[in-house]
Amino acid sequence: MIKGVLFDMDGVLADSEQYICKAAIMMFEELGLRAVPDDFKPFVGTGENRYIGGVAEKYGIRVDIDKVKARTYEIYQTIIRGNLKPLPGAAEMVNRCRNLGLKLALATSADRIKMIANLNEIGIPVISFDAIITGLDVVNKKPYPDIYIRAADELGLKTAECLVVEDAISGITAAKRAGCRCLAVSGSFDSTLLSEADWICDSLENVPEEALNW
């Protein structure tokens, strides 16, 4: 029986991909590298270390990942101000799960600084979640299952009692490897690429009833 819901953040609660991509491109421009959005696509959902580091590797440049990530977040926090919005049905889904008496965790590959910035901007309070796990809390990032195993543990639940809400291929793989059921929200990836999930919806406004009743 479902007892907990583990939410990914980027692409699930907020459509932040375009902004972190723009921020990373602007950061790379400061280093003299002209990256393009498609460069980042293979690294969506894997955390900013890999998101930025993977592109640096592609172009054969060496970077101080902590330094370039910090600069990227500086740019990111500026460009999301007044622009980042919650995805349709996101806040309602969090409230719905809370009203059903389910335990909630936020499990994001992003660093805490980005997580706080996003939640503040989209108006979903941090206290909405019983546990928060970020990319800095686990060694192995998605598609490894560590973040969802840790999130379930923080809630005092078995992974088999948890539903993961994801949008990225790597995140869905992580959820299934952890032993969770998974609801995929299409948008970041075509729904044909999300078949590993137990359920797929086009928006959190259209969550299949069975995803929250098992």
77 neighbors 117 (Cβ within 8 angstroms): yes
State how far the alpha carbon of 11 is from the alpha carbons of 29, 60, 144, 189, 195, in Å: 25, 29, 19, 10, 17
DSSP output for 75-111: HHHHHHTTT--BPTTHHHHHHHHHHTT-EEEEE-SS-
**146 given a catalytic annotation:** no
The single-letter DSSP state of residue 185 is E
From the list 8, 111, 167, 198, the catalytic residue is 8
What is the C-alpha separation between 197 and 200, in angstroms, rounded? Answer: 7
Q: Residue 15 catalytic?
A: no
State the Cα–Cα distance between residues 75 and 60, nearest whole angstrom: 23
In the chain, the largest separation of any two C-alpha atoms, in whole Å, equals: 53
Q: Tokens at residue 164, please?
A: 């993961």
For residue 88, is the peptide bond before it cis, meaning its omega torsion is within 30 degrees of 0?
A: no
Q: Catalytic residue among 10, 39, 111, 146, which?
A: 10
- Rounded CA-CA distance 122/166 in Å is 18
Catalytic machinery residues: 8, 10
